[in-house]
């Protein structure tokens, strides 16, 4: 019954996605987007709250029977990328593009809200539809939590999905435990003492210190952390020195640290500092390390992931549901999953036969819109499995 409901709404869902795609907005600036969402949810008769975490919107659907509260989440933000697709729904905003699929996530969630609203007499408990700003690096989830998105009514569990162009349409990817990594960032300033390059004994070379530090940080990854607990330390920028014949007095490095294990993640800044301190001081220099914790690892609950597998078997068939390895990319769905049990899963959206193969965050990124139907059916089935089976 729910599947027919979604099939009947498919055309409207594709229209919603194309409208969002045509009018992308960056993190915490999703005002047009939020307006459309709030209006849509209100027309369905849901209890709507706006401006949570700046541009976030929630809609509450109350079933006719009492029960638990399930949160379903979509992210709303686009990316600072100039679109190069030649399609009718191409972005009209120069330099901004939905190049991660969040336009599809919103269209899916609005459609699920409509389909479940029509079936509210059969629904136990409540569904909180959460439209979250600023997933890309800015941590919109954290801001929404600070502003009470998990309260009133208290959320018992949460599901979220991501459309994935690397996975063919019609496939579902799940993983129990950590599915995506944490991501922290750091800025390291190394100071030496300038001098004439002909007389290196008179200076302290900040570039030479930096070279040792960068190499030693990779040793930290390979020799201090178990090889079966993945960690990535990446130095992404390095700036220092002004002239070929001058000993550089300052070098600034910026980088990121990713891990799947929380305990390991928490141990990294201390380990880095010990190594940086030893090398810098040992070579006669000094340093400043600024280390900022970003997104935690996204950790899926085993029971909730079991429901994703069940729903996947119902929607695409058991042989199209498979376990994906964790990725070292990160995702702010993690903040909700620190507070409530839930599962974050992948919905295939690529289609090599149609030439839809571009990676996310690429100016030619696109999705096979049939994936929207799969995503919407998945969330409806999950709501049924979670809420109507006490």
Kindly name the residue from 83, 135, 184, 368 that is annotated as catalytic.
Answer: 135
Number of residues that this document lists for the chain: 390
Q: How far is the CB of 76 from Zn ion (least distance, A)?
A: 11
Give which of 182, 180, 177, 334 is closest to 257, Cα–Cα: 182
Closest-approach residue to Zn ion (CB): 100
Which residues within the stretch 96-135 sit at the binding site for Zn ion (CB under 5 A)? Answer: 100
User: Binding string, 43-82, against Zn ion, x = CB under 5 A?
Assistant: ----------------------------------------
77 is a catalytic site residue:
yes
Whether the Cβ atoms of residue 316 and residue 171 lie closer than 8 Å to each other: yes
**Looking at beta carbons only, is 100 or 150 nearer to Zn ion?**
100
Q: How far is the CB of 308 from Zn ion (least distance, A)?
A: 18
Q: What is the rounded distance in angstroms from the CA atom of residue 360 to the CA atom of residue 167? A: 12
The DSSP output letter for 368 is: -
Q: How far is the CB of 238 from Zn ion (least distance, A)?
A: 25
Question: 3-state DSSP helix/strand/coil percent for the chain, to nearest 5?
Answer: 40, 30, 30
**Looking at beta carbons only, is 100 or 380 nearer to Zn ion?**
100
Q: What is the rounded distance in angstroms from the CA atom of residue 28 to the CA atom of residue 34? A: 10
* Counts for the chain of helices (H) and strands (E), in that order: 9, 16
Sign of the CA dihedral running 286, 226, 341, 386: positive
Q: How far is the CB of 162 from Zn ion (least distance, A)?
A: 6
Piece in contact with Zn ion (CB under 5 A), picked from 26-34, 95-103, 116-124, 290-298? 95-103
Burial 287-304 (b: 16+ CB within 10 A, else e): bebeeeebbbbbbbbeeb
Q: How far is the CB of 349 from Zn ion (least distance, A)?
A: 11
152 is a catalytic site residue:
no
Q: Does 163 bind Zn ion (CB under 5 A)?
A: no
Q: What is the rounded distance in angstroms from the CA atom of residue 236 to the CA atom of residue 245? A: 25
Piece in contact with Zn ion (CB under 5 A), picked from 4-12, 94-102, 115-123, 266-274? 94-102
Q: How far is the CB of 322 from Zn ion (least distance, A)?
A: 21
Give which of 263, 64, 47, 286 is closest to 190, Cα–Cα: 286
Give which of 8, 161, 146, 9 is closest to 74, Cα–Cα: 161
Q: What is the rounded distance in angstroms from the CA atom of residue 148 to the CA atom of residue 158? A: 15
Q: What is the rounded distance in angstroms from the CA atom of residue 42 to the CA atom of residue 30? A: 18
**Looking at beta carbons only, is 98 or 114 nearer to Zn ion?**
98
Q: What is the rounded distance in angstroms from the CA atom of residue 170 to the CA atom of residue 348? A: 6
- Beta strand 231-240 with 250-259: parallel, antiparallel or unpaired? antiparallel
**Looking at beta carbons only, is 2 or 100 nearer to Zn ion?**
100
Piece in contact with Zn ion (CB under 5 A), picked from 93-101, 118-126, 144-152, 348-356? 93-101
Omega prior to 153 cis, within 30 of 0: yes
**Looking at beta carbons only, is 129 or 346 nearer to Zn ion?**
346
Sign of the CA dihedral running 133, 134, 136, 142: negative
Q: What is the rounded distance in angstroms from the CA atom of residue 297 to the CA atom of residue 295? A: 7
- Beta strand 298-300 with 177-180: parallel, antiparallel or unpaired? antiparallel
Kindly name the residue from 30, 75, 77, 83 that is annotated as catalytic.
Answer: 77
**Looking at beta carbons only, is 103 or 314 nearer to Zn ion?**
103
**Looking at beta carbons only, is 100 or 387 nearer to Zn ion?**
100
**Looking at beta carbons only, is 100 or 316 nearer to Zn ion?**
100
Positions annotated as catalytic residues are 77, 135
Question: Interface with Zn ion by CB under 5 A: which residues?
Answer: 100
């Amino acid at each position: 019954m729910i599947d027919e409901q979604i099939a009947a709404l498919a055309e409207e869902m594709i229209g919603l996605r194309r409208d969002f795609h045509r009018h992308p907005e960056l993190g915490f600036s999703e005002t047009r987007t939020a307006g459309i969402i709030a209006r849509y949810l209100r027309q369905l008769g849901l209890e709507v709250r706006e401006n949570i975490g700046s541009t976030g919107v929630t809609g509450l659907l109350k079933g006719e029977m009492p029960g638990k509260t399930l949160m379903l989440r979509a992210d709303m933000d686009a990316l600072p990328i100039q679109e190069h697709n030649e399609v009718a729904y191409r972005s009209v905003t120069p330099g901004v593009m939905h190049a991660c699929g969040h336009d599809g996530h919103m269209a899916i969630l609005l459609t699920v809200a409509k389909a479940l609203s029509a079936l509210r007499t059969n629904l136990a408990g409540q569904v909180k539809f959460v439209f979250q700003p600023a997933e890309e690096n800015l941590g919109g989830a954290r801001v929404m939590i600070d502003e009470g998105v998990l309260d009133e009514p208290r959320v018992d569990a949460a599901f979220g999905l991501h459309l994935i162009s690397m996975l063919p349409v019609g496939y579902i990817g799940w993983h129990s435990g950590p599915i995506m990594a944490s991501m922290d960032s750091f800025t390291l300033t190394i100071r030496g003492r300038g001098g004439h390059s002909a007389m290196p004994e008179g200076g302290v070379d900040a570039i030479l210190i930096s070279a040792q530090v960068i190499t030693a940080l990779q040793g930290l990854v390979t020799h201090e952390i178990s090889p079966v607990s993945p960690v990535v330390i990446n130095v992404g920028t390095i700036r220092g020195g002004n002239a070929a014949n001058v000993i550089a007095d300052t070098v600034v490095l910026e980088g990121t640290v990713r891990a799947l294990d929380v305990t390991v993640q928490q141990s990294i800044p201390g380990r880095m500092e010990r190594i940086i301190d030893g090398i810098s001081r040992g070579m006669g220099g000094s340093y400043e390390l600024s280390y900022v914790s970003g997104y935690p690892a996204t950790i899926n609950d085993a029971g909730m992931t079991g429901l994703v597998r069940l729903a996947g078997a119902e929607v695409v068939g058991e042989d199209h549901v498979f376990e994906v390895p964790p990725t070292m990319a990160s995702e702010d769905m993690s903040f909700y999953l620190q507070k409530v049990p839930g599962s974050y899963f992948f919905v295939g959206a690529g289609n090599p036969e149609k030439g839809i193969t571009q990676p996310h965050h690429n100016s030619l990124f696109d999705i096979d819109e049939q994936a929207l139907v799969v995503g919407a059916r998945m969330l409806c089935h999950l709501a049924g499995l979670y809420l109507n089976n006490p």
